[in-house]
């Protein structure tokens, strides 16, 4: 089977040195393996994503000397694929309408902590876990709130999902001293993750899993910050009957203060580095490739 790698940025800001490292590494590994290198535009968030950032991504990658196979897959053009996957999970009773907003969840966690004097559990990104209140809602109350048009997100019933599955692992190819080998997935750390947001008919987790499968991706190479998310991806792959790619979570490029670069990280944006007269070879040297 021909290896398939992908670089999957979100066009909600300018690419920075961290993206350059990820794209160059994916491209190099793909070419070394005689495989394909795909570009996927993860633009499900129509509020934050902009066409000029998408154009910037293509310009930056061309500047780096990268070419990609096939025309890029734009997630906003494939909402029907994610809806199909969501329907399957809803049909299995694995998803439920979740009415609480992020702010309400924070408030719930704060009240719990105040009252109980111990922390409410948080996910690997530091957000309080979704309390199971809506999961336990009785059917008539749920119907009433749906009929009243109350906004909601679809969330995965994680406990129920895990009850249906064997323990999951994923193959981590390891890089830069990170974990390597067969890694045990820890989806329970995430609780009831969002499958479809209230404002967007899918979520990062759902669309990434569906697309990696539809595009035949065999190797997911991405930043270490996404390592914990892989546990959620394994659950969704198992529930949806999708095969799992191999993973490699690489080191992040940090700024001088040791912080993760952000999309607003002005002076490390590729557009600005280009404008300052740097060549692609300078960028490669800066990221060590
Ligand atoms: N779109 C995600 C990001 O820009 C990357 C998703 C992935 O590689 O799985 O952070």
CB of 226 sitting under 6 A from ligand 1: yes
As annotated, the residues of the chain forming the CATH 3.40.50.620 domain(s) are: 1-77+254-289, 78-242
| pLDDT score recorded for residue 259 | 77
- CA dihedral of 172, 176, 178, 183, whole degrees rounded to 10: 10
User: What are phi and psi for residue 72, nearest 5 degrees?
Assistant: -60, 145
* Greater pLDDT, 142 or 259: 142
Q: Which CATH superfamily is domain 78-242 in?
A: HUPs (3.40.50.620)
- With CA atoms as reference, report the closest residue to 230 among 176, 184, 261: 184
- More confidently predicted of 253 and 248: 248
CATH superfamily of 1-77+254-289: HUPs (3.40.50.620)
Q: Whose CA is nearest to atom 3 of ligand 1?
A: 9
Name residue, tokens 């009240």.
111
Give the chain's mean pLDDT: 95
What pLDDT score does 178 carry?
75
CA of residue 285 to ligand 1 center, whole Å: 23
238 sits in which H/E element? helix 229-240
The average pLDDT across 28-56 equals 97
How confident is the model over 93-132, as pLDDT tens digits? 999 999 999 999 999 999 999 999 999 999 999 999 999 8
Give me the pLDDT at residue 256, please: 72
Please give the model's pTM, rounded to 2 decimal places.
0.95
Q: Which atom of ligand 1 is nearest to the CA of 229?
A: 9
Tell me how far the alpha carbon of residue 241 lies from the centroid of ligand 1, in angstroms.
Answer: 22
Distance between CA atoms of residues 92 and 233, nearest Å? 18
pLDDT digits (tens, 9 = 90+) for 153-206: 999 999 999 999 999 999 999 777 778 899 999 999 999 999 999 999 999 999
Q: What percent of the chain lies above the pLDDT cut of 90?
A: 90
What average pLDDT does range 223-244 have in this prediction?
Answer: 97
The separation between CA 74 and the C-alpha centre of its own chain, rounded to angstroms, equals: 15
CA distance 166 to 170: 13
Q: Is 260 a catalytic residue?
A: no
C-alpha span between 86 and 156 (Å, rounded): 10
pLDDT at 267: 64
Query: Is 10 close to ligand 1, i.e. is its CB under 6 Å away?
Result: yes
pLDDT of 257 reads: 74
- What pLDDT does residue 265 have? 57
Give 266's pLDDT tier (boundaries 50, 70, 90).
low
Residue 145 CA, ligand 1 centroid: distance in Å: 34
């Amino acid at each position: 089977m021909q290896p398939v790698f992908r670089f999957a940025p979100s066009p909600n800001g300018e690419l920075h040195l961290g993206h350059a490292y990820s794209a160059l590494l994916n491209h190099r590994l793909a070419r070394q393996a005689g495989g394909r290198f795909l570009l996927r535009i993860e633009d499900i968030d129509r509020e934050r994503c902009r066409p000029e950032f998408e154009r910037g991504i293509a310009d930056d990658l061309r500047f780096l000397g990268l070419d990609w196979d096939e025309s890029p897959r734009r997630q906003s053009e494939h909402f029907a694929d994610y809806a199909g996957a969501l329907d399957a999970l809803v049909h299995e009773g694995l998803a439920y309408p979740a009415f609480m907003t992020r702010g309400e969840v924070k408030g719930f966690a704060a009240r719990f902590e105040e009252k109980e004097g111990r922390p409410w559990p948080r996910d690997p990104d530091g957000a309080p876990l979704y309390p199971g209140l809506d999961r336990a809602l009785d059917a008539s109350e749920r119907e009433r709130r749906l009929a009243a048009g109350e906004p909601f997100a679809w969330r995965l019933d994680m406990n129920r999902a895990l009850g249906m599955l064997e323990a999951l692992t994923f193959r981590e190819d390891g890089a830069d001293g990170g974990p390597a080998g067969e890694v045990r997935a820890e989806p329970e750390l995430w609780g009831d993750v969002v499958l479809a947001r209230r404002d967007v008919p899918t979520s990062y987790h759902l669309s990434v899993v569906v697309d990696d499968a539809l595009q035949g991706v065999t190797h997911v190479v991405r930043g270490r910050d996404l390592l914990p998310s892989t546990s959620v991806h394994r659950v969704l792959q198992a529930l949806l009957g999708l095969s799992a790619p191999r993973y490699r979570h690489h080191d992040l490029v940090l700024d001088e203060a040791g912080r993760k670069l952000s999309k607003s990280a002005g002076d490390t944006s590729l557009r600005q580095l280009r404008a300052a007269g740097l060549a692609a070879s300078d960028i490669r040297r800066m990221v060590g490739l």
